[in-house]
Amino acid sequence: MTQAIDKDRVLIFDTTLRDGEQSPGATMTHEEKLEIAELLDEMGVDIIEAGFPIASEGDFRAVKEIAERSKNSVICGLARANLTDIDRCWEAVQHAGKPRIHTFIGTSPLHRAIPNLTMDEMAERIHETVTHARNLCGNVQWSPMDATRTEWDYLCRVIEIAIKAGATTINIPDTVGYTAPVESADLIKRLIETVPGADEVVFATHCHNDLGMATANALAAVAGGARQIECTVNGLGERAGNTALEEVVMALKVRHDIMPWHTGVDSTKIMNISRRVATASGFAVQFNKAIVGKNAFAHESGIHQDGMLKNAETFEIMRPADVGLAASSLPLGKHSGRAALRAKLRDLGIDLADNQLKDVFVRFKDLADRKKEVYDEDILALVHAGEDAANDALQIKSLRVACGTGGPAEATLVMEVDGIEKTATQQGDGPVDATFKAVRELHPNKAHLQLYQVHAVTEGTDAQATVSVRLEEDGNIATGQSADTDTVVASAKAYVNALNRLLVRRGKTGQDRKEISYRDVS
């Protein structure tokens, strides 16, 4: 079937919920996946790879519900090259308005050795599995994993087989971030020129950032003829991450003079989803990250500041508003009302229902009483601070800490455990250690602390501290995050937040997350 291809349109295929979530420690809750999928759908992402349905019951449920809720985007699930995976994938995505099955197999010599298949045996499996997928779904994507290290003749052969079997999109993954821009462009160009039927399908690019060239490689592939970019919000992903959605979208927008292609993404929604993914994954965005980093539109140099005051274009190639960042701030403090808070939230791309606004406003007033001025970052931290807390099995009621140079720190914690209020006092090597020991006394657990990270949300001694905690227990990994003007309180809340997530995974999902061999997918 020949597809009508807009030669100037680049499709954005977001895999934050699949490849992004595979980044160790970035596992998201069911509710977070649904929320992020909704934001991606609203911002105009063309295809959302919602997960890997065969990986676990939790992944299956998330993909299925995202498919059922989708309004605009194609909803895609991933499947290995076997009939069981493909059937499970179709079961999850079939109720989407626009479903897609994405199936793959590793075609390089290194990857062929894993299932111990000859070239002919793998070719036969590709034909069988792509045919099966196409019989189920009219929209099928096929990927030769580690394509950039696959022999040229064999790569052409298996792509032709996949196209003849019914694949409508051919994705070329640089699975290990090995290629360079000139190679990326040349590979796509040669494949389109060489493989029979290539002009009837969409070619896609999927790049990893191991050598720091993912975005450059993706854009080079577009220059070579690819018309779909696989990417993730904030560049989240395994090892060094994936091509960053915000980078390719803004590069195509800002440098349209030399890259005459466009996407359907509403770039003004970028900052909001960047912040949401950072909170859900527990992976903070580095300050100097392109487009979405805290310093991306900050200027400290005197020369730069002088230039900015005279003409912002002297040192900014895009407007903050282009990515959803308010160019000027509306100062908020303890005298600000609900209307001002709602206006600020809307400036930040967040529209809350009345009951949600009421809850955030209470926390805002409490914070404003302790701070001279409440910044944008403070407000964003408040919005996410109370999410799902009402249903948590573990809830902190109060915390008192004594510490100093005269002896060990002591923490007295009052915590509600399954609706029962309990108190514990513990000493430790510092206030955070004492607090965590008190939590463990009230809720005994074997969780191993893999990460404890603190950073200030804003400037000043009254700044909110955002604390990220990552715990591992029996193969399950959960990340908790919280913000407070008291670092110890933020630490306690983040620790308890992570414990609650572990409880959810053990309880509500009915099983631990299965670990199957898909960590290096595409």
Residue type, 38: E
Does the annotation list 208 as a binding residue?
A: yes
Please give the span between the terminal C-alpha atoms of the chain, in angstroms, as a whole number.
25
Length of the chain: 522
Does the annotation list 19 as a binding residue?
A: yes
DSSP run (H or E) holding 103: strand 99-106
- Between helix 245-254 and helix 214-223 the angle, nearest 10°, is 50
Long-range contacts of 440-447 (CB under 8 A, 24+ apart): 442/413, 442/415, 442/417, 443/394, 443/415, 443/417, 443/499, 445/473, 445/499, 445/502, 446/473, 446/474, 447/471, 447/472, 447/473, 447/498, 447/499, 447/502
| Alpha-carbon separation of residue 212 from 239, 240, 342, 431 (angstroms) | 11, 8, 39, 39
d(CA 61, CA 76): 14
* 130 phi, psi to nearest 5 deg: -70, -40
Does the annotation list 209 as a binding residue?
A: no
d(CA 441, CA 131): 57
Asked if residues 46 and 74 have their Cβ atoms less than 8 Å apart, the reply is: yes
- Between helix 152-165 and helix 181-194 the angle, nearest 10°, is 50
Sheet of 409-417, strands arranged across:
394-402, 409-417, 420-428
**What's 411-432 look like in SS3?**
EEEEEEECCEEEEEEEEECCHH
* 289 phi, psi to nearest 5 deg: -65, 135
Neighbours of 311 (CB within 10 A): 9
Give the pairing type, strands 476-484 and 465-473: antiparallel
Give the pairing type, strands 202-207 and 228-231: parallel
DSSP run (H or E) holding 382: helix 376-385
| Alpha-carbon separation of residue 50 from 19, 36, 141, 165 (angstroms) | 9, 10, 14, 24
d(CA 373, CA 329): 11
Does the annotation list 14 as a binding residue?
A: no
d(CA 199, CA 227): 12
Binding residues for Mn(2+): 19, 206, 208, 242
Q: Which residues contribute to the annotated binding site?
A: 19, 206, 208, 242
